Structure formats: C-alpha cells, structure tokens
C-alpha cells in the first residue's frame, strides 16, 4: 500500500471511529455566518476549506463560512479580536500560537491540521547534511526572521549545537527563496516539504531534505479561535473543526475532489493540474490522521524547544495554548 | 521659542488624542497600543541596543539612497529641462519606471544586485529619483526668459547659463522636489529592506509584527521612521533657507 493510500485509509478510519455521528441541523435552521482567515494566499493546500464550502460540510455543521486571506500577524490579531457574535476562525502555525499567546494575544489552538511540521531545509541532491552540526558555514535562504521557517531553521541549528551566527542567512521576504537556490546565491533554503521540493524538481533540480521532525519535533499548523468566542460558544469551534476534518478525510481518500474544489474556488490553481495535484498529494501526507486530535507530547516538546530558543519565556503554560473542545469523541 | 511651544503643544494634543482613542474604544494593546506602552517598549529597545542596531542600518541606506538618487535626478532633470529632444526620448522610460509598483520590482532588484547594501541603495534611489528629476526639469524651464536672453546677448556659454542662471532660479522648485524626495527615501529604505535584508527598521517591523507579535515594538519602529523623516525634512528646509537666501 502506498504511503498516500495508507494515510487516506487511516484518515477515513480515524474519522469514522473517532468523530462519531455528525449532528446536522434541521433544514430550516438558519446558518451561522462565520469567517475563516487563512494565511499567505489562495493555494491548493487549502483544499479542505474549499471542499467543505462547496460540498456543504460547513452547511451541515450549521455554518456559512466566508474565507479571507491575511498575513500571519493580521490573521492572529483578527482572530483574537473577533467578537463572539462575528465568529472568526483561522489556520495558523502552532509555533506562532505559542509566541502570540505569550505576547498577550488571546488565541487558542483547537484542532490539528498538519500532524507533521511541514518545514524542511532543502538543497541540491547530495549537498544536504544529515547531521545539523554540518550546517556550519552554509549559506541559507529563508523568508525572514519570522514564522515557521525561521523557527524550524533555528531549531535545526540548535540541534546541531549551532546558532544563526554560524551560518550565512539571506532573507527572501517575498518567499522567493527558490529563485535564490536556483541561481546558486544560497546553498540551502527553508521551505514547505510539500511545495518547494516539487517546484525545484520542475526546474530540473533534484533535491534532498533535512526535516525538522527528525531532529527537533514541533507541532504543526491547525485551527485557531479567539478566547472570547471559544469561551462563549465552544460548540461552534467543535462543529467547525469536525467539518474541516471531514473534508480532510474526504480529500485524503480522493485527492482529485480536493483539487477540483480548489480549482473551482481559485481557477488559477486549475491551470497547472499536475503540479497542483502533486502538491496536494504531498500535503495529504502531512495532515492529521486522527481527526485533528492535538498531540500534547509534540506540543510539550515544541514548547520546550521554543523556550530554549528564546522565542517564548515560558510565562504562559503550554496547557493554556490549546483546547480539546474539538477533540474527536473516543 | 514660540515655534517650539507650538510644536510641543501639537505633540501633546496628538498623544492625548491617541490615548483617548485607546481608552474610549477599549482597543487591546495588540491592536493599538497606548502611547505610554509604546514609550515603555521604546525605552527597553533603546536600552538593549536593539533600536540603534536597526536604525543605523536604515539611516545609512536613506542617506546613500537619497544622495545617489538626488544627484542623478538633478543631473537628468537638468538635461530634460534644457533639451526637448532628451525629454521626448527619456520621459516615457522615466514615467514608466515611476508607474511600475516598486514593491513588485524590489525583490527582483534585490536578486539582480546581489542582495546587499547596493541593492537597497538602488531601490531607495529609484523611489527618490522621480519627484526630484521632474522638479528640476520644471525649475530649469522656469528661468526668466528675459534673463536668458540677456545671458545670450552677453555671450554666455550654455554651461555658464545653466550654472549661473537656470540652476539658481530653479533652486526653490528643486528644494520642493527634495522635500518630497527625502520622505520618500525613508519609505524606499523600508521597501528595500522588505525585499531582502537582515537588519534595518523595515526588518524590525517584520520581526516585531510577524515574528514576535509585539505590536508596541512595531510602533516603536514606526515612530523612529517618522522621527527620521521629520528630522531629514527639517534638515532640507534648513539648507533650503540658507541656500536660497544666499543665492
């Protein structure tokens, strides 16, 4: 069985056994309008949300969801500041949730979307060290001193007994570090392992990866909600998460429906079907296989890493950063 | 003394309005921090050396970008003002360069020019160039036609006319362009840093905003940029007063 099919089977099995029956509102019940903030820009990786919209998974959960795209910081603030009646959700990096929560931004992580941390160091085949200590002296391209790529890079360097001063870092704030690697301006880049490697291979560059999961595990991105909304209506977050996980499971079982949903929502995605489908299939391998249950062990380990790297001071306990309100029923 | 009092009064009113807004709306610090929160964060950023580390980089980029951009703009603007042919040939390119969003072009310039100080100075200079070049062109052409005729009748060479008549008479307009250019230089440096840099106030904004979710620190960087802009603008105005009185 291929890894993709195995993951798909696990996802479907997990959803069927863990989530239990999804309660659907009566046909006459009005839908609750909520907003979903997604980071970066429209992409096939957001297929579960397009599918949940188009296939009626959100409607089955009593939700009328409007999707908006915001950059990471604005997303976090808007989710935190969203009034309970306006219902704002977001998808964000777990590491950013740790930092923003520590900085006083009241957001809570309620459901895992990416079970595996998607960032890796990527370079031409045969040049990527397997031991992080061998990163010393390398020229590394990364978007900037923020976000999951930066956290992963520092975690990898730390695992090798190194710091940012031991390498030459070149920043690509427009996320065009692939161009830098292709030009030979840098030796390695940070990137999402379900995206940049495929783009580089399309340009004719065979690549190897050093994934942060192997040396310094960090929890992956997931669904977040503001504390006010979570406190006033925890059921809403649970319903949203179930609809999201239902779409995740459906796409894992049949990636084509995810691609079709994404292409319908964003026609530009459909222009490069093979590439987009490849990205989606690589993304599925990273998604949660257990209905979005939060891996507390990964969170605690990641929290310790983030404290040791100085991103957070440990003043907010890790237990206050997540909620099991949307956990699938055992 | 009266001018200083008016400035301080204006600043106090601005800070009071800002504070009032945060209190009246109950906006949390992560959306709009109160002035005293920003001030406290600023003191910490100064104390740790963080603010100066980034400010020094941005100031260097601004001064080099402004100098290079303004010098080129004055030279090109003079040529445009003196020659209709040159204006017809170059104007479309100059206007096109100004019309292209520099935000889209900056990442490419950063890659083409090696991603170092040179790339950032170039981006800053490009942003500064247009208003100063156009102001210079207009200023050169605003020389009194009777004086131009008199210089000609006295046998002045084109170079003498430019140096002794056209440029001096264009100075008020050129300084108008410089006033605009100096504030654009601040924006240009930040745009250049957003295209690729590891330090500078633009980078600090990104780190504070997207990396640390530290909104007060982001405001500290913004206030610092504003202070730099005001300071440089004041410097240009001060030079303008001296130069124009002398000429």
Same domain? A48 vs A178:
no
How many CA atoms within 13 Å lie on the side-chain side of A38? 16
Same domain? A140 vs A263:
no
Same domain? A239 vs A155:
no
pLDDT at B225 over 70: yes
Which of A78, A142, A144 would best serve as a mutation to test chain B binding (most B beta carbons within 10 A)?
A144
Interface predicted TM-score (ipTM): 0.76
Q: Which residue among A73, A150, A185 sits closest to B209, beta carbon to beta carbon? A: A73
Q: Which residue among B30, B115, B207 sits closest to A105, beta carbon to beta carbon? A: B30
The reported pLDDT for the residue numbered A11 is 46
Residue among A43, A217, A202, A203 nearest A115 (CA): A217
Domain edges within chain B = 37-246
Smallest CA–CA distance, residue B100 to chain A, in Å, is 17
Q: Which residue among A105, A146, A174 sits closest to B210, beta carbon to beta carbon? A: A146
Q: Nearest 5°: CA angle at B125, between B119 and B130?
A: 140
Q: pLDDT tens-digit profile of A170-194?
A: 998 888 899 999 999 999 999 999 9
Nearest CA in chain A to B107: A174
* H runs (alpha helix) in A66-176: 72-81, 94-102, 147-159
CATH number, residue A238 = 3.40.190.10
Q: Is A300 left (phi over 0), alpha (psi -120 to 50) or beta?
A: alpha
**Average per-residue pLDDT for chain A:** 89
Q: pLDDT tens-digit profile of B55-78?
A: 999 999 999 999 999 999 999 999
The answer to whether A131 faces chain B, any CB pair under 8 Å, is: no
Residue among B197, B172, B183 nearest B235 (CA): B183
CB contact under 8 A, B115 and A80: no
For residue A327, give the 3-state DSSP assignment: coil
Same domain? A238 vs A288:
yes
Instruction: Record the tokens describing residue A72, joined without a space.
Output: 């990471």
Question: How far is A91 from A117, CA to CA, in rounded Å?
Answer: 14
Domain end among A188, A215, A242 = A215
Q: pLDDT tens-digit profile of B130-179?
A: 999 999 999 999 888 899 899 989 988 988 988 889 999 999 999 999 99
Nearest CA in chain B to A70: B210
Instruction: Record the tokens describing residue A267, joined without a space.
Output: 């026609």
The reported pLDDT for the residue numbered A21 is 43
For residue A172, give the 3-state DSSP assignment: coil
Q: Looking at the domain assignment, is residue A330 inside a domain?
A: no
Tell me the CA distances in angstroms from B74 to A30, A215, B118, B135, B198, one per residue in order: 65, 57, 20, 9, 32
Which of A78, A142, A145 would best serve as a mutation to test chain B binding (most B beta carbons within 10 A)?
A145
Paired strand residues for A63: A32
Number of domains in chain A: 2
Residue numbers of the domain that contains A149 = 119-215
Which of B119, B213, B214, B215 would best serve as a mutation to test chain A binding (most A beta carbons within 10 A)?
B213
The reported pLDDT for the residue numbered A176 is 87
Task: Residue B198: list chain A partners with CB under 8 A.
Answer: 145, 169-171
Give pTM, 2 decimals. Answer: 0.82
Same domain? A160 vs A205:
yes
Q: Looking at the domain assignment, is residue A325 inside a domain?
A: no
The reported pLDDT for the residue numbered A28 is 59
Same domain? A145 vs A112:
no
Same domain? A15 vs A110:
yes
pLDDT at A5 over 80: no
Same domain? A88 vs A144:
no
User: What does CATH list as the number for B37-246?
Assistant: 1.10.3720.10
Question: How far is B140 from B170, CA to CA, in rounded Å?
Answer: 5
* Residue A173 vs residue B217, higher pLDDT: B217
CB contact under 8 A, A146 and B195: no
Q: pLDDT tens-digit profile of B114-139?
A: 888 999 999 999 999 999 999 999 99
């Amino acid at each position: 069985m291929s890894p993709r099919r195995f993951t798909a089977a696990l996802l479907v099995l997990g959803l069927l056994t863990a989530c239990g029956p999804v309660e659907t509102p009566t046909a006459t019940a009005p839908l609750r309008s909520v907003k979903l903030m997604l980071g970066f820009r429209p992409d096939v990786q957001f297929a579960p949300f397009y599918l949940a919209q188009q296939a009626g998974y959100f409607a089955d959960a009593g939700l009328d969801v409007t999707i908006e795209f915001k950059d990471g910081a604005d997303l976090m603030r808007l989710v935190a500041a969203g009034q309970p009646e306006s219902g704002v959700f977001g998808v964000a990096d777990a590491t950013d949730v740790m930092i923003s929560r520590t900085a006083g931004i009241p957001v809570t992580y309620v459901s895992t979307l990416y079970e595996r941390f998607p960032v890796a160091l990527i370079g031409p085949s045969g040049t990527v060290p397997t031991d992080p200590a061998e990163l010393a002296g390398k020229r590394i391209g990364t978007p900037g001193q923020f976000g999951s790529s930066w956290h992963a890079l520092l975690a990898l360097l730390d695992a090798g007994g190194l710091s940012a001063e031991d390498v030459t870092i070149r920043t690509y704030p427009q996320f065009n570090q692939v161009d830098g690697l292709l030009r030979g301006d840098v030796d390695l880049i940070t990137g999402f392992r379900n995206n940049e490697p495929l783009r580089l291979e399309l340009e004719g560059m065979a690549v190897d990866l050093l994934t942060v999961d192997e040396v310094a595990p960090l929890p992956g991105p997931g669904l977040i909600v503001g504390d006010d909304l979570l406190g006033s209506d925890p059921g809403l977050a649970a319903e949203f998460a179930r609809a999201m996980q239902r779409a995740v499971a459906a796409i894992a079982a049949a990636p084509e429906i995810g691609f079709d949903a994404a292409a319908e929502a964003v026609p530009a995605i459909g222009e490069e079907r093979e590439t987009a489908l490849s990205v989606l299939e690589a993304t599925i391998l990273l998604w949660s296989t257990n209905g979005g249950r939060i891996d507390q062990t990964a969170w605690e380990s990641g929290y310790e890493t983030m404290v040791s790297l100085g991103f957070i001071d440990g003043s907010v306990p890790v237990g206050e950063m997540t909620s099991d309100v949307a956990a699938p029923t055992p | 003394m009266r001018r200083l009092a008016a400035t301080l009064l204006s600043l106090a009113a601005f800070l009071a309005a800002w504070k009032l807004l945060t209190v009246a709306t109950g906006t949390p610090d992560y959306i709009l921090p109160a002035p005293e929160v920003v001030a406290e964060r600023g003191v910490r950023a100064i104390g740790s050396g963080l603010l100066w580390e980034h400010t020094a980089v941005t100031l260097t980029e601004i001064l080099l970008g402004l100098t290079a951009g303004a010098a080129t703009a004055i030279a090109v603007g003079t040529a445009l003002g003196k020659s209709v042919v040159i204006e017809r040939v170059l104007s479309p390119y100059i206007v096109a360069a100004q019309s292209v969003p520099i935000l889209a072009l900056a990442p490419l310039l950063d890659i083409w020019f090696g991603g170092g100080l040179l790339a950032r100075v170039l981006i800053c200079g490009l942003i500064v160039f247009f208003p100063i070049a156009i102001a210079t062109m207009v200023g050169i052409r605003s020389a009194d036609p009777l004086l131009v005729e008199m210089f000609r009748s006295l046998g002045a060479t084109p170079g003498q006319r430019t140096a002794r008549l056209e440029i001096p008479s264009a100075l008020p307009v050129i300084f108008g362009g410089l006033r605009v250019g100096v504030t654009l230089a601040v924006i240009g440096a930040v745009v250049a840093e957003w295209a690729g840099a590891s330090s500078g106030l633009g980078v600090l904004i990104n780190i504070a905003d997207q990396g640390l979710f530290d909104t007060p620190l982001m405001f500290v960087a913004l206030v610092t940029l504003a202070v730099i802009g005001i300071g440089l603008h004041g410097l240009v105005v001060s030079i303008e007063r001296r130069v124009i009185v002398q000429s």
